[in-house]
Amino acid sequence: MINVTLLGSTGSIGTSTLDVIRRHPGRFRLFALAANSSVDSLLEQILEFRPEHAVLVDAGAADALRARLAGAGLATQVHHGEAALDAVAGAPEVDAVMAAIVGAAGLRSAHAAAKAGKRVMLANKESLVVAGQLFMDAVAASGATLLPVDSEHNAVFQCLPCGDRQGVRRILLTASGGPFRQHTLDELTDITPEQAIAHPNWSMGPKISVDSATMMNKGLEVIEAHWLFGAQPDDIQVVVHPQSIIHSMVEYIDGSVLAQMGNPDMRTPIAHALAWPERIESGVGSLDLFEVGRLDFSAPQPERFPCLGLAYRAIEAGGTAPAILNAANEVAVAAFLERRLPFSGIAEVVEACLQGLPAEPAEELEVVFAADHRARELARQRVASGPGAA
């Protein structure tokens, strides 16, 4: 029996993880579930899976959950705060941790799992974007097993025998192009949040859906791939593939190109990470190539997706630049979703923060978090200044 801590249990990755675990009751056991403030959703999960521990970041939500569990006669212990997230991620009883808290908020707990030598199933790309060297150092020092859950990186991992990069020429990260890949530049100025979160292929949360629409998500994945696979930015190419059937590819120096294919469903990489090196049923249907019919590929257009270029700039700058990029983007996306910033303003805010804040060596987590804080402050100022001010 594998004891699992699920960080971010009420989000899209979390609920998909629970769906896979539900199919294998004799193989996996939930030790802890953790969420931000979703009392109702977390309570429903606790009633089904009966974990020993539950964590809510928000103290008031934790009190509410504790009272409702007591009323139901359940023994699950409720905790709150970031320290509690770290504790359930690194607990001795835990074998595997699904790190699925969105954004920089998930960094500390994912890092705690890595330091504790767990099987870290990494769905929180910001852990590597914000603090890649520190995170990989923690994995190496503890002997943790790091398994990527992002569909693209999981695909690359599956195309690398035993994770060995010997003989690899380049990594090809596929991107759907999001909902606006065929819009004119003029049409992009009037995009609404409702349009941006309507991803054509994947079911994701609002923030990740917007990142897909700007292709910042792919930029973050380039940074993530750099750390996961030891690849230089010039050796990582983004390929727009609107069908989202090929999840990524690896080209070898002999001319071979290996691709991982499947229906666009996150339960496939989740099941792969949960059971690796074995394969288990995920609930995902078989791929019908006759129904797919065709596979298209194109290069991303820099003028349409400036966020992708900004991510490459950040990784070249190194140090805290990726943390600045990520923090500014989180603030800008939140402002867009709240209708305080136009869609085109997301890239403008991020670029202003990269230009306005010099990168520093990212030698410890506190330095990274300080850069994150400064970037958020500057991004908020830029948003408050209005369109065009950034």
pTM of the model: 0.90
Identify the sign of the CA torsion 357, 360, 365, 366: negative
Q: How much of the chain, in percent, has pLDDT values that exceed 70?
A: 96
CATH architecture of the domain 2-148 equals: 3-Layer(aba) Sandwich (3.40)
CA 205 to chain centre: 11
Decide: helix, strand or coil at residue 386: coil
Q: Which two tokens stand for residue 36?
A: 């931000």
Q: Is the peptide bond before 233 cis (omega within 30 degrees of 0)?
A: no
* Beta pairing partners, 54: 33, 78
Note the pLDDT of residue 267. 97
- The yes or no reply on domain 318-390 and CATH 1.10.1740.10 is yes
Question: Alpha-carbon distance 85 to 108, whole Å?
Answer: 8
- Tens of pLDDT, residue by residue over 230-243, are 999 999 999 999 99
CA angle 191, 195, 201 (to 5 degrees): 135
The pLDDT of 145-172, averaged and rounded, is 90
Domains of the chain, by residue range, sit at 2-148, 318-390
* Beta pairing partners, 77: 53
- Tens of pLDDT, residue by residue over 10-28, are 999 999 999 999 999 999 9
- Name the residue type at position 252: Y
pLDDT at 203 over 70: no
First-last CA distance in the chain: 53
- Tens of pLDDT, residue by residue over 328-362, are 999 999 999 999 999 999 999 999 999 999 999 99
The pLDDT of 87-105, averaged and rounded, is 93
H or E element, residue 168: strand 168-175
- Tens of pLDDT, residue by residue over 242-252, are 999 999 999 99
Q: Which two tokens stand for residue 339?
A: 């209708």
Question: Alpha-carbon distance 308 to 346, whole Å?
Answer: 12
- Tens of pLDDT, residue by residue over 307-328, are 999 999 999 999 999 999 999 9
Tell me 285's DSSP state. Answer: P
